[in-house]
Amino acid sequence: MKTLKSLALAAVLLIVLPAPGWTQEDVAAPAPQPSPIATTTAASENADIAGRIRSIFAEIDALGAVEVRVSSGVVTLSGMVPSQADVARAEAIAARVSGVVTVQNDLRRDLDLDTNLAPTLDQISQDVRSLFRALPLIGVAIALGLLIGAAGYLLASVGRFWRWITPNPFLAELAATFVRFVSIVVGLIAALEVLGATALLGAVLGGAGVIGIAIGFAVRDTVDNYVSSLMLSLRQPFRANDHVVIEGHEGRVVRLTSRASILMTLDGNHLRIPNSVVFKAVILNYTRNPERRFEFELGIDAEDDPIQGMAVGLEAVKALPFVLGNPPATAIIQKVGDSNIVLRFYGWIDQTQTDFLKGRSLAIQAAKSVLEGAGFALPEPIYRLRFDKGVELPAAATTAPEKTLRPAATPPVTSAAPGDTAPDSHVAQMVSEERAEAGTDDLLDDRRPIE
Q: What is the DSSP string of 171-206?
A: HHHHHHHHHHHHHHHHHHHHHHHHHT-HHHHHHHHH
Q: Examine the pLDDT at 422 and tell me if it is beyond 90.
A: no
The pairs formed by 366-370 with CB atoms below 8 angstroms and a separation of 24 or more are 366/316, 366/317, 366/319, 366/320, 366/415, 366/416, 366/418, 367/296, 367/298, 367/313, 367/314, 367/316, 367/317, 368/298, 369/316, 369/415, 369/416, 370/312, 370/313, 370/315, 370/316, 370/413, 370/414, 370/415
* pLDDT value for 361: 94
Order the strands of the 74-81 sheet from edge to edge: 67-71, 74-81, 102-109
The SS3 of residue 150 is helix
pLDDT in tens, 185-211: 888 888 888 877 766 666 666 666 666
DSSP characters over 299-367 = EEETTS-HHHHHHHHHHHHHTSTTS-SSSPPEEEEEEE-SSEEEEEEEEEEETTTS-HHHHHHHHHHHH
pLDDT in tens, 261-277: 999 999 999 999 999 99
Q: What is the mean pLDDT of the chain?
A: 79
Asked if omega into 327 is within 30° of 0 (cis), the reply is yes
* pLDDT value for 110: 75
With beta carbons less than 8 A apart as the criterion, state whether 78 and 87 touch.
Answer: no
* pLDDT value for 22: 43
What is the enclosing helix (H) or strand (E) of 87?
helix 84-96
- Range of lowest pLDDT (46-60, 160-174, 247-261, 313-327): 160-174
Single-letter residue type at 441: D
* pLDDT value for 308: 94
In angstroms, the first-to-last Cα distance of the chain is 87
Single-letter residue type at 340: N
Q: Examine the pLDDT at 19 and tell me if it is beyond 50.
A: no
- Cβ-based neighbour number of residue 263 at 10 Å: 26
- What does DSSP say about strands 74-81 and 102-109: parallel, antiparallel, or unpaired? parallel
Single-letter residue type at 31: A
Where does the pLDDT of residue 31 fall: very low under 50, low under 70, confident under 90, or very high at 90 and above? low
DSSP characters over 119-143 = HHHHHHHHHHHHHHHHHHHHHHHHH
Spacing of C-alpha 390 from chain mean position: 77
pLDDT in tens, 106-143: 888 877 766 667 777 777 888 888 888 878 888 888 88
Where does the pLDDT of residue 4 fall: very low under 50, low under 70, confident under 90, or very high at 90 and above? very low
Q: Look at 274 and 26; give whichever has higher pLDDT.
A: 274
Highest mean pLDDT among 76-80, 149-153, 305-309, 379-383: 305-309
Q: Examine the pLDDT at 358 and tell me if it is beyond 90.
A: yes
* pLDDT value for 403: 46
Where does the pLDDT of residue 16 fall: very low under 50, low under 70, confident under 90, or very high at 90 and above? very low
* pLDDT value for 38: 57
Residue among 425, 423, 427 nearest 268 (CA): 427
Where does the pLDDT of residue 396 fall: very low under 50, low under 70, confident under 90, or very high at 90 and above? low
Spatial separation of the C-alpha atoms in residues 243 and 256, rounded to whole Å: 14
